[in-house]
Amino acid sequence: MKEDYHKWYSPTLNKDIEMLVFGHAGYPLVLFPTTSGRFYECKDFKLIESAKWFLEEGLVQIYCPDSINELSWYDKNIHPADRVKNHVWYDKFIMDEVVNPICHDRGIQKLAIAGVSFGGYHAANFAFKHPERVSHMFSLSGAFDIKSFLDGYYDDNVFYNNPVDFLPGNNHSDLWNMNIILGVGEWDICLESNQQLAKILTDKNIPFWFDERKWAEHDWPIWREMFPHYLSTI
């Protein structure tokens, strides 16, 4: 299984960024880590291993960029307005320095996005904000309402990065052409959040698969089961 390490200075984020890329060919998928996870987390916890067959067969290529959650949603030392602004910069970084270069190099318009736990928020938020660039969105135990991170603060940046707020009014036609999967466990702490997003999608008649796994909690074992299943839908 081919693995490549990349490190570069991001002009968008004004810092060094690291990323692992797995596979030698296939459909590109950007994979976000959990809350405090780094670019290597999905490898360390064997999520990449669960996709080994797809990678070795050249069916998918997985890009694992670093996150900056410690500088945005989880930085309690800065004002909430700055927390969300830092996330806005991260969203721009993902588009300008990860997604657009991949699409340009491949000569394609769209790619797949996925994430585990808080990475599921990143996947859903990016996909629903930029449906013209996303063909598949897989959230594994994601949460989709970030207002609890902002100590009661609210502005337009919060609205447009909070899927449960902006998605009801988003009528971009590509939302109806996206392969959306919400994976969650029966005993998952994020079950209610997934049910809330599922209702929004249902009310808008946007097709999706709500994959609720029995006897499953918010943890890596169930994510390692889900991930290859979802890759098979690409």
Model pLDDT for residues 96-125, shown as the tens digit of each residue: 999 999 999 999 999 999 999 999 999 999
Tokens for 177?
């052409």
Q: Which of 61, 52, 65 is nearest to 10 (CA)?
A: 65
Look at residue 59 and tell me whether its pLDDT is greater than 80.
Answer: yes
Distance of CA 50 to the CA centre of its chain: 18
Amino acid at 155: D
Helix extents (H) in the chain = 41-44, 47-50, 52-56, 80-93, 100-106, 118-129, 156-159, 163-166, 191-203, 220-231
Helix 118-129 and helix 80-93: axis angle, to 10°?
70
3-class DSSP state of 170:
coil
Q: What is the pLDDT of residues 144-197, one digit of tens each?
A: 999 988 999 999 999 999 999 999 999 999 999 999 999 999 999 999 999 999
Domain count, the chain: 1
Name the average pLDDT for the chain.
96
What is the residue range of 80's domain?
Answer: 3-231
CATH number of domain containing 131: 3.40.50.1820
User: What is the pLDDT confidence band of residue 39, given thresholds at 50, 70 and 90?
Assistant: very high
- Contact predicate 62/51, CB 8 Å: yes
- Contact predicate 197/164, CB 8 Å: yes
**pLDDT the model gives residue 117:** 95
Q: Which residues pair with 205 in a beta bridge?
A: none
Give the position of tokens 């897989």.
138
3-class DSSP state of 83:
helix
User: What is the pLDDT confidence band of residue 90, given thresholds at 50, 70 and 90?
Assistant: very high
